[in-house]
Structure 1
Amino acid sequence: MVIQHGGRPEELRAAREECAEELGGEPTAPLADDAELSKFYDLQVEAYECLVANGYSPAPPSTREAFVASYYAGESWFAHQPAVPEGAPIPDTVCPQPMLADIEW
């Protein structure tokens, strides 16, 4: 199904709602549990180490416990955060940003 919306936010929102109604809603996935977030922390630390090895200065890792506890509040540490809040964004071309989908069991 193709919907032309003209680019205005309210039209895009209406088109998205129409698609969701037509197709049965947006897919949902369960939230990651603490074990998954712990593994995700490991991936973030690996990315941090890669960034440091390639001359970048990201913010140092938090503890695993702090990462897991603050993840859903949007306050977790991430490897690609600059060391200072006003720092330039760290590119993910050399060391890709991990994603939850990257977790291997």
Structure 2
Amino acid sequence: MLEQVLDIAGLVCLLLGSLLCLTAAIGVLRFGDLLTRMHAGTKPQVLGLLLVLLGVGLRLRTGIDMGMIVLIGLFQLLTVPVAAQLVARAAARTGQKRSEPPPPGA
């Protein structure tokens, strides 16, 4: 019974994580300037990946797999903010300005 509940919880986490990763990809394609694209590419993508990892962890439930999943999550949490900060710094140093928002319905 507990295994079935964990499998269903894992499935829900996988689906929610996949939807968040999809919204991140759509945001990167739809938004116009660098800063909004960077925001769309980092915030929901990291949460989506963590939910996917949680779903996989709930499904696998072995020690070696859980250790690897925790490492992947930690490295993701450590590298994404640093990369986003470096991209924002490079954009500021090169003088990139915010572009005009796209017209409604575009």
TM-score computed with the length of structure 1 as normaliser: 0.29
Relative contact order, CA 8 A, sep 6+: which one is greater?
A: 2
Please identify the structure whose Cα radius of gyration is greater.
1
Bigger helix share: 2
